[in-house]
Amino acid sequence: MHLLLISLTLLMGAAVGWSIGANDAANSLGTAVGSRVLTLKQAIILICIFGFLGAFLQGGHVVKTLGKGIVPLHELDKNAALCIALVSAFAACAWVVLATFWKMPISTSHSIVGAVAGAGLAIGAPVRWKVLGDIFACWLFTPIGAAILGYLFYRIFKSIFYRLIPRKYIRPTMTTLIILSGCYVAYSWGANDVANATGVIVGAGVITPSISVIVGGLAILLGITTWGYKVIETIGSEIAHLLPIMAFSAQMASAINVHVYTCFGVPVSTSHSIVGAIFGVGLVKGLRVINLRTFKDIVFCWLATPFVSGVVSFFCLKGIGFFVKLN
């Protein structure tokens, strides 16, 4: 039974990684595709490279928070910890896959955090509400901070870029800046989001943090290459029509925003960050350039994410509890 739980937990962790790649790949270079600086194929290759680098080099910061910070899995009975990890991964993955099918960019961070909390409550495990409250507060500030940065960056870059760069160098310079900033977004995304795939597995003691970032990173790469194109279309062109300098401003705002949270080990949403940044950039030209219907649909999915995954996780674990003694 114990070996079966370990095998299923590893499999679901990989499935979460796949769903992250499928949904969150758009956060990195979707704006570059939307502004027609990169083709979809070129964007996916760059996302794979820099997303994996971020996961490998800095992914361990957030892994610790998700593995032990919300529910102390390392302090629970081994079977209970494994069941929480398994059910949390399943609930998070199911919701992210459904949202990806709808082409909605949602937060895998919100999904896995809600699922872990729901699973912990299902068996009466100690949920660290202060940590959870701090994470929720950061979730609120993530899109707001990105929107403010995006608004400021676009105003600044728009006013100085065309003055400093000779006309014949404007296009190649902007193309280079968009690609570099997009790679930075991919790096910060990989560093923050790999924990969503493997943090609970590490907390349950199945694999080590160093191995987890490799496993999670590879699973994310698979998700990018197989289904990543769906949400890239939404991020790239269905929220706002982006000029190249707008894409650059949004990507820089999002990358800096997420990287700061990553350094403090806080799991935040790269989806919230890039959508917030695009919204902020769009505001410079006014609400008329923003597709408010798409934006409202995205916000609705954001609000639903932690609660849906938490409820699914709660009832799944309650069901398992009828057959397996968990506490």
Place of tokens 């940044």: 277
Give the model's pLDDT for residue 324. 60
Q: pLDDT value at position 184? A: 93
What pLDDT, on a 0 to 100 scale, did the predictor assign at position 241? 65
- At residue 90, the pLDDT reads 93
Residues of the chain with pLDDT under 70: 1, 25-27, 61, 64-69, 229-241, 287-291, 321-327
- State the amino acid at position 268 in one-letter form: V
Domain boundaries, given as residue ranges, for the chain:
10-321
Measured distance CA(270)–CA(185) in Å, rounded: 9
| Three-class SS of the chain | CHHHHHHHHHHHHHHHHHHHHHHHCHHHHHHHHHCCCCCHHHHHHHHHHHHHHHHHHHCHHHHHHHHHHCCCHHHCCHHHHHHHHHHHHHHHHHHHHHHHHCCCCCCHHHHHHHHHHHHHHHCCCCCCHHHHHHHHHHHHHHHHHHHHHHHHHHHHHHHHHHHHCCHHHHHHHHHHHHHHHHHHHHHHHHHHHHHHHHHHHHHCCCCCHHHHHHHHHHHHHHHHHHHCHHHHHHHHHHCECCCHHHHHHHHHHHHHHHHHHHHCCCCCCHHHHHHHHHHHHHHHHCHHHECHHHHHHHHHHHHHHHHHHHHHHHHHHHHHHCCCCCC
pLDDT of residue 303: 83
Give residue 282's pLDDT.
83
